[in-house]
Amino acid sequence: MNDRTERPQPAPDDGVAGEGQEGTTGPAQSQLWVIVPAFNEAARISATLHALAAQTDHDFTLLVVDNGSSDTTAGAVRAFAAGAPFPVHVLVEPEKGVGCAVDTGFRHAIAAGARLLARTDADCLPRPGWVAAARAGLESGAGMVCGRITARHDEHGPAGRAFFAGLVALAAAFGRIRPAHRGDGYLAPYRMHAGNNMAITAGLYQACGGMPRRPSPTDRLFLNRVRATTAAIAHRRDMIVENSTRRIRAYGVVRTAKWYLDRGSGPLTPDPR
């Protein structure tokens, strides 16, 4: 079911473009778009943008969806765009929630001609082969490709990174045995994926109903929508994103574990900033 009814319309794309491009009025865009939702990420998004600039595959268009930031997130993206090796666009989505920002960004990219869509987050660092791995997976026949996440090295030492890896493994195991993920209506077995490290075809995104328009967490519901639509889901270990571990500091160990086990954030905000 698609829940896009009666929602506010996003502000128009501001047409910021990378070097040698002219925004939405310039040359044809790449068929692969990378969508990055962002909210008050001025302190972190530059590292994400430079990680994208370091990709081995630059044949993509970057769309940053600013989810109503009150800081200089959009300004940081515009500054980066002046020398970017690919077209860069900024789109404002005033409706709050990471699901709203992602869904608006994906549908905007599809309307602009995108055939392949990849997503990461504004506090994450895709490894240099990330775009190439996502493209290879989708062009090999998968409708959706999920990658591997690891903790950022600049946020925690070995103990924190090991704890993060343990949480991911525990959440993945819990997801496989959870009754809600094992119904007869699914065409593929459950395997946890991170929303900040995934790629999907435009056709499948539209067919499954898209990202639920709500605050985080959205990943499990979206994955189940995909699983109910197709069995063509691939997992690539060479599609790697370094994930922020700031939720551990904001929530503490126990609440973070509950979050990854799909128990929500309790009395805390879903946004750990």
Q: What does the pLDDT read at residue 169?
A: 72
218 has pLDDT over 90: no
What is the number of alpha carbons within 13 Å of residue 204 lying toward its C-beta?
24
Q: What digits encode the pLDDT tens for the residues 201-210? A: 999 999 999 9
Q: What digits encode the pLDDT tens for the residues 37-77? A: 999 999 999 999 999 999 999 999 999 999 999 999 999 99
Percentage of the residues of the chain whose pLDDT score is greater than 90: 58
Residue 266 lies in a domain: no
Q: How many angstroms separate the CA atoms of 182 and 78, rounded? A: 44
Residue 84 lies in a domain: yes
Residue 111 lies in a domain: yes
Residue 43 lies in a domain: yes
Looking at the DSSP bridge assignments, the partners of residue 199 are 118, 145
Q: Which secondary structure element, helix H or strand E, spans residue 103, and what is its range?
A: helix 98-111
Using alpha carbons only, how large is the chain's radius of gyration in Å? 18
Residue 221 sits in which domain range? Answer: 23-260
Residue 235 lies in a domain: yes
259 has pLDDT over 60: no
Residue 85 lies in a domain: yes
Residue 228 lies in a domain: yes
Q: How many angstroms separate the CA atoms of 236 and 136, rounded? A: 10
Residue 163 lies in a domain: yes
How many domains does the chain divide into?
A: 1
Q: How many angstroms separate the CA atoms of 270 and 250, rounded? A: 10
